[in-house]
Amino acid sequence: MSTIDYAEDEPTNPPDSGSQKISAPAALRNREVIADAIDDFLPKQGNVLELASGTGEHICLFAHRFANLKWQPTDMDPSRLASIESHAAAEKLPNLAGPVSLNVAEDTWHSWDADVILAINLLHVAPKSVTRAVMRGASNVLHVGGTLIFYGPFMLNGTFSTESNRKFDLYLREKNPEWGLRDIADLDHAANAVGLARVALIDMPANNNLVVYQKLDVSPPD
């Protein structure tokens, strides 16, 4: 994939004038595949908190497909929050809550109770410190046994899985020196420090991975 291809995947407003909806070609391409992959890690009932929901196209599909779960979208960008709300209004899904503003880098999140936290294509377009912040926030919000799921491109033990991922990392760092692919080993270290343990690492299409953590019961014994 070339730099031009990356640019073509940037979210855009549709041609209809006045619409607050934003559409991301990559989201429309991968959301069915992601839904298939996360199915094995979702409970029968419960609450799912999505971080950095972006355009809202992922979570609308997930809420439709997994109607037994309650879905909470978030983002920190006002234009993205407006897009999520617009997409959600069109879908009219009773299990999809209105979007809430959340900066995942903040020390304290809202007082949600979550069974699952989902973050799609977040860590590589954020400073490295956000990885630790997300792990801390997730540990505070998740129930014991709850699940934290990441989707996106990653490194493994300092190695890129493909040449295209190495080029993508360079592209990201040219846009912002604080961005770039994160290493699974660093995720594991940050997760373990706050009582989360990796339970799955799954290869996904287009050189992406699904990385799944579970919150452990770290309460002291009686």
Average pLDDT, stretch 20-33?
Answer: 91
| Residue-level pLDDT at 20 | 85
d(CA 137, CA 28): 28
pLDDT at 212 over 50: yes
Average pLDDT, stretch 105-126?
Answer: 92
| Residue-level pLDDT at 110 | 84
Q: Please, which pLDDT band fits residue 12 given cuts at 50, 70 and 90? A: low
- pLDDT tens digit sequence for 131-151: 999 999 999 999 999 999 999
- pLDDT tens digit sequence for 183-205: 999 999 999 999 999 999 999 99
